[in-house]
């Protein structure tokens, strides 16, 4: 069983569209995250939820809205997609105190055309 | 704040060569330290970790020692293989913080046969 699964794996969409990507973890972790990886492989945290409560909200455009219906799921909705949103988005999860590290999903590559 | 610095630029080396990737950190508190590896087209995988000073993390022939006196966690492997070609990220997490995992910029490692 995949520990952290993301869907879809690839998403190609036109500018201005609204899209959602989903993440699910079956590890029993309390905390989930969204990271954005740019073309230079730089990883930037976007959001973090602990047991459905938002605990990290970095400087991300309001067009990005995370939702956590339960502690095993964290979705990301993006309104009015822009060219600069093209990137790979990684979901991750960890125990409440993350010093054992995170478990990452395999990523969703979004290409905005 | 908490941050990780990795040496600049990609690393290209021949098979069976010795690999070192430098990582230094700045942290408030007593961080846990990690190396993650990202193979082409995949998500990040935890390679090894260390949670206290002088701990040595090891996995798949890679090693890193938590050096508090030099605030470093350099990654080493004695004899690399072509299959080690990947991007390597150093990261830290501070216990009792907000679980944020701070990543370095990553180093692309290319091993030539």
- Please enumerate in sequence order all residues whose Cβ is within 8 A of that of B21, keeping only pairs 6 or more positions apart, or say none: B6, B7, B11, B74, B75, B76, B88, B90, B107, B109
Reduced to 3 states, what is the DSSP secondary structure of residue B15?
Answer: coil
CA nearest to B91 within chain A: A101
Whether residues B34 and A101 touch (CB distance < 8 A) is answered with yes
Query: What is the strand order of the sheet B75-77 is part of?
Result: B19-21, B75-77, B62-65, B56-59
Whether residues B99 and A97 touch (CB distance < 8 A) is answered with yes
Burial code (b: 16+ CB inside 10 Å, e: under 16) for B69-100 equals eebbbbbebeebeeebbbbbbbbbbbeebebb
Query: What confidence score (pLDDT) does residue B101 get?
Result: 84
Q: How far is A72 from chain B (nearest CA, A)?
A: 17
CA–CA distances in Å: residue A62 to residues A81, B19, B80, B86? 11, 42, 44, 33
Q: Which of B36, B96, B99 sits opposite A94 (nearest CB)?
A: B99
Average pLDDT over residues A40-50: 90
pLDDT in tens, chain B (113 residues): 789 999 888 999 999 999 999 999 998 888 999 999 999 888 999 999 999 999 999 999 999 999 999 999 999 999 999 999 999 999 998 766 666 788 999 999 999 99
Query: What confidence score (pLDDT) does residue A107 get?
Result: 95
Average pLDDT over residues A27-52: 90
Which residue spans within chain A are E strands per DSSP?
4-7, 10-13, 19-25, 31-37, 43-50, 53-57, 64-70, 73-78, 87-94, 103-104, 108-112
pLDDT of residue A25 exceeding 80, the answer is yes
Query: What confidence score (pLDDT) does residue B28 get?
Result: 82
Whether residues B44 and A50 touch (CB distance < 8 A) is answered with no
- For chain A, the average pLDDT equals 91
pLDDT of residue A54 exceeding 90, the answer is no
CA nearest to B100 within chain A: A98
CB of B4 within 8 A of CB of B69?
no
Q: Which of A4, A55, A104 sits opposite B98 (nearest CB)?
A: A55
Question: What is the Cα–Cα distance from A43 to B37, expressed in whole angstroms?
Answer: 13
């Amino acid at each position: 069983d995949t520990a952290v699964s993301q869907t879809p794996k690839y998403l190609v969409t036109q500018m201005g569209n609204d899209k959602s990507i989903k993440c699910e973890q079956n590890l029993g972790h309390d905390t989930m995250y969204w990271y954005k990886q740019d073309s230079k492989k730089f990883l930037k945290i976007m959001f973090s939820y602990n047991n459905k409560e938002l605990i990290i909200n970095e400087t991300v455009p309001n067009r990005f809205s995370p939702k956590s219906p339960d502690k095993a799921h964290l979705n990301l909705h993006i309104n009015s997609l822009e060219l600069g949103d093209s990137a790979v988005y990684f979901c991750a999860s960890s125990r409440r105190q993350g010093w054992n590290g995170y478990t990452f999903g395999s990523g969703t590559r979004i290409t905005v055309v | 704040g908490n941050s990780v610095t990795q040496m600049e630029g990609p690393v290209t080396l021949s098979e069976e060569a010795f690999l070192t990737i430098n990582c230094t950190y700045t942290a408030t508190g007593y961080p846990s330290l990690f190396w993650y590896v990202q193979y082409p087209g995949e998500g990040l995988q935890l390679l090894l970790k260390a949670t206290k000073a002088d701990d040595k993390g090891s996995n798949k022939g890679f090693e890193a020692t938590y050096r508090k006196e030099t605030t470093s966690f350099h990654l080493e492997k004695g004899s690399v293989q072509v299959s080690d070609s990947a991007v390597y990220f150093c990261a830290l997490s501070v216990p009792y913080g907000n679980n944020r995992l701070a990543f370095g910029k990553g180093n692309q490692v290319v091993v030539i046969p």
